[in-house]
Structure 1
Amino acid sequence: MDKIDPAMIPPGMDQDDIENAIANYYYSCTQVTATCPVKATTLGYYPNRGINIFFAIGFAAAAVVTLLLGLRKKTWSYTSFIAAGSALELAGYAARIPLTDNPWNKHAFETQIVAIILAPTLVCISIYLTLKHVCLSLNPALSRVRPRLYPFIFVPLDVSCLLVQAIGGALAASAAKKDLKMVQHGNRCIIAGIVLQVVVLLFFGASAGDYWLRVKKWIKSDEADPEALALWRDKKFRMFVYAVTGAYSGILIRCIYRIAEMAGGWGNHIMQDEPSFIVLEGFMVLIPCILLACFSPGYLFPQMAARMSAPKSARESDAEKQVQPEGHESHQQTASGDESGPSDAQTHVEPAPTPVLVESKGKEGV
Structure 2
Amino acid sequence: MNSTATTEIPYGTGSPYHYVPTLWVCATLLVLFSLTGILHLIQAIWTRRWWLIPTVVVCAIGEVIGWSGRLWSSQNSTLRTPFLMQISSTIIAPSFVSAALFVTLGYLVNRLGPQYSRLGPKLYAIIFCSVDVVSLVIQAIGGGMASSADNLDGAENGAHVMLGGIVLQLVAITFYVVFAAEFVTRFYKDWPIRHVSQSDEGKAVTSASGKYDKPVRLVMIGIIFSSVFLYIRAIYRTIELSNGWNGRIISTQTYFNVLDGVAILLAMLVLNIFHPGHLLNRIDSVQLSPTVSLSA
TM-score by length of structure 1 reads 0.69
Give the corresponding residue for 1:198.
170
What is the CA deviation profile of residues 226-278 of structure 1, one whole-angstrom value per residue up to 9, with x for unaligned ones? 664310x22x4322220121111101110000011111211311111111111
Deviations 1:67-121 (A, max 9, x none): 1111121101123310000110011011111211211011111100011010001
Structure 2 contact 54–96 (Cα < 8 Å) conserved: no
CA RMSD after TM alignment: 2.3
Higher helix share: 1
Gaps of 5+ in 2: 1-9, 196-204, 286-291
Q: Does the 8 Å CA contact 2:146/2:158 hold for their aligned counterparts?
A: yes
Quote the offset at 1:326 in angstroms: 4.9
Corresponding residue number in structure 1 for 2:7:
none
Partner of 2:35: 61
Counterpart Cα distance in 2 of 1:87 and 1:45: 25
The Cα shift of 1:50 comes to 0.7
Letter of the aligned partner of 2:221 in structure 1? Y
The share of aligned pairs that are identical, in percent, is 26
Which of 95, 98, 104 pairs up with 1:130? Answer: 104
For the 8 Å contact 1:55–1:93, the answer to whether it is kept is yes
How far off its partner does 1:142 sit? 1.4
What is the CA–CA distance in structure 2 between the aligned matches of 1:302 and 1:227, rounded to whole Å?
19
For each residue in 1:199-230, what CA deviation from the matched residue of structure 2 results, as whole angstroms up to 9, or x when unmatched? 111011111111112112118xxx99366431
Aligned to 1:184: 156
Aligned-partner SS, 2:190: helix
Is it true that 1:249 corresponds to 2:216 in the alignment?
no
Match of 1:296 among 271, 275, 296: 275
Is 1:225 the counterpart of 2:197? The answer is: no
Answer yes or no: is the 8 Å Cα contact 2:73–2:79 preserved in 1. yes
Q: TM-score, normalised by structure 2?
A: 0.85
Distance 2:269 2:284 in 1: 19
Separation of aligned partners in 2, 1:189 and 1:165:
7
Q: Which runs of 4+ in 1 moved over 6 A?
A: none
Verify the 8 A CA contact 1:73 1:305 in the aligned structure 2: no
Letter in 2 for 1:145: L
1:196 is displaced (CA, Å) by 0.8
Deviation at 1:137, TM superposition (A): 2.0
Q: Which moved more, 1:279-288 or 1:141-150?
A: 141-150
Q: Give the structure 2 partner of residue 209 of structure 1.
A: 181
Matches within 5 A, 1:255-274: 255-274=234-253
1-structure distance, mates of 2:114, 2:244:
45
Distance in 2 between the 1:277 and 1:156 partners? 27
- The verdict on how the C-alpha distance between 1:136 and 1:228 changes in structure 2, with shifts beyond 3 A counting, is farther
CA contact (8 A) 1:70 1:296 kept: no
- CA distance in 2 between counterparts of 1:265 and 1:297 reads 37
Aligned-partner Cα distance in 1 for 2:294–2:250: 57
Aligned AA (1:197)? Q
Q: Within 2, Cα distance between the matches of 1:304 and 1:218?
A: 18
For residue 143 of structure 1, the aligned residue among 99, 117, 123 is: 117
1:268-298 deviations in whole A, cap 9, x for unaligned? Answer: 1111111111111111100011111332233
Q: Work out whether residues 190 and 207 of structure 2, in 8 Å CA contact, stay in contact via their aligned partners in 1.
A: no
Quick check: 2:233–2:260 contact (8 Å CA) kept in 1?
yes
1:225 is aligned with what amino acid? Answer: T
Q: What is the 5 A alignment of 1:1-366?
A: 23=11, 26=13, 36=14, 41-175=15-149, 177=150, 179-218=151-190, 225=206, 228-231=209-212, 233-234=213-214, 236-302=215-281, 326-328=293-295
Identify the residue that residue 18 of structure 1 maps to in structure 2. none
- Greater Rg over alpha carbons, structure: 1
Deviations 1:100-152 (A, max 9, x none): 12110111111000110100011110011111111122221111221122111
Q: Residue by residue, what CA displacement relative to the aligned partner does 1:276-334 show, whole Å, maximum 9, x if unpaired?
A: 1111111110001111133223322215678xxxxxxxxxxxxxxxxxx9533xx8xxx
Amino acid in structure 2 at the alignment position of 1:243: G
2:154 and 2:184 map into 1 onto residues whose CA distance is: 45
Paired amino acid for 1:138: L
Counterpart of 2:176, as a letter, is F
* Deviation at residue 181 of structure 1 after TM alignment: 2.5
Partner of 1:6: none
Structure number with greater CO (CA < 8 Å, separation at least 6) is 2
Mark the runs of 5 or more structure 1 residues left unpaired by the alignment.
1-21, 27-35, 307-324, 332-366
